[in-house]
Amino acid sequence: MLKKELLNLQYKEIELLRLKTKKKEIESEKEKLEKESQKINNNIESARIKLDEKKKYLQELNNFIKYKQERIAELKKQKESARNREEFKKILRAIAKNEDDIIKTKQQITGIETEVEALKDAYLKVKEQFEFKLNELKEKINELEKEANTYEKKINKVLFEIEEIKSSLPEEELKKFEQMKEKFNGLVFADISTGACEGCGITYSSAEYRELLSKLKAGESKCPYCGRFIYCKK
Ligand SMILES: [Zn+2]
């Protein structure tokens, strides 16, 4: 014999399993969307980094020109106070070399500026292209988060109810129930309202079924085939 309250405990434990599975599904879906979102963000970020690096290089080239211009100004001053013709010529050559460097760098800058523009376009394009998708993902993730929280609350409620039932039952009875759960794959009480045993799947003959129903007592009657306690949901 088993106490009828244990059927309620079985309901609650099955409900708990269902809720936990559902919550896990929601969380794994959320994780999937978060990964997708992260991937998009990485793409946008990588376009931004490429643009920034190119801009930085452009800045370096401009700094180089500035440095060269300062150097020329310096050399021009030195030229005024050249001690001899030899030194004068040497300074002139140095100035020409620096001017040459500036011209080459300016040519390089023109190319880099074009590249910066192209990278800026690419960055804005990828950002714009995925902005909608990202917002959509964000919304879905928030929804799933809320849903998971709702399930968390439901789970806590059922856990509380399970504890309540357990604390109202004698230790021995619970121990017996746990042992039977082990033996019967978690299903100690089997519903027979369909004419078949929910536990072992056997369909009863109509005479047998009538007999079982007429004598049915929750916590006492058992399935003649698997030995589970039977009850009728209806
Ligand atoms: Zn059975």
How do the domains of the chain map onto residue ranges? 5-169, 184-231
How far apart are the CA of 216 and the centre of ligand 1, in A?
Answer: 14
pLDDT of residue 92: 96
Over residues 139-168, mean pLDDT: 97
77-to-40, 69, 87, 93, 219 alpha-carbon distances in Å: 56, 13, 13, 14, 109
Count Cα neighbours of 196 within 13 Å in the Cβ-side half-sphere: 6
pLDDT tier at 1 (50, 70, 90 boundaries)?
Answer: confident
How far apart are the CA of 202 and the centre of ligand 1, in A?
Answer: 6
Tokens of 57: 């290089």
pLDDT of residue 207: 96
Question: Is the pTM of the predicted complex or chain greater than 0.85?
Answer: no
How far apart are the CA of 228 and the centre of ligand 1, in A?
Answer: 6
How far apart are the CA of 211 and the centre of ligand 1, in A?
Answer: 15
Percent of the chain with pLDDT over 70: 100
Over residues 7-27, mean pLDDT: 96
How far apart are the CA of 201 and the centre of ligand 1, in A?
Answer: 6
Instruction: Tell me, letter by letter, the H, E, C secondary structure of the chain.
Output: CCCCHHHHHHHHHHHHHHHHHHHHHHHHHHHHHHHHHHHHHHHHHHHHHHHHHHHHHHHHHHHHHHHHHHHHHHHHHHHHCCCCHHHHHHHHHHHHHHHHHHHHHHHHHHHHHHHHHHHHHHHHHHHHHHHHHHHHHHHHHHHHHHHHHHHHHHHHHHHHHHHHHHHCCCHHHHHHHHHHHHHCCCCCEEECCCCECCCCCCECCHHHHHHHHHCCCCCCCECCCCCCEEECCC
pLDDT of residue 4: 82
Residue 2 pLDDT exceeds 80: no
Residue 233 pLDDT exceeds 80: yes
Percent of the chain with pLDDT over 90: 95
CA end-to-end span of the chain, whole Å? 22
Residue 160 sits at the vertex; the CA angle it makes with 1 and 191, to the nearest 5 degrees, is 40
How far apart are the CA of 18 and the centre of ligand 1, in A?
Answer: 22
How far apart are the CA of 227 and the centre of ligand 1, in A?
Answer: 6
How far apart are the CA of 222 and the centre of ligand 1, in A?
Answer: 8
pLDDT tens string 45-58: 999 999 999 999 99
pLDDT tens string 87-128: 999 999 999 999 999 999 999 999 999 999 999 999 999 999
pLDDT tier at 3 (50, 70, 90 boundaries)?
Answer: confident
How far apart are the CA of 165 and the centre of ligand 1, in A?
Answer: 25
pLDDT tier at 234 (50, 70, 90 boundaries)?
Answer: confident
Over residues 161-189, mean pLDDT: 95
Candidates 1.10.287.1490, 3.40.50.2300, 1.10.1740.10, 3.80.10.10; correct CATH number of 5-169?
1.10.287.1490
How far apart are the CA of 40 and the centre of ligand 1, in A?
Answer: 53
pLDDT tens string 69-79: 999 999 999 99
Over residues 170-190, mean pLDDT: 94
How far apart are the CA of 225 and the centre of ligand 1, in A?
Answer: 5
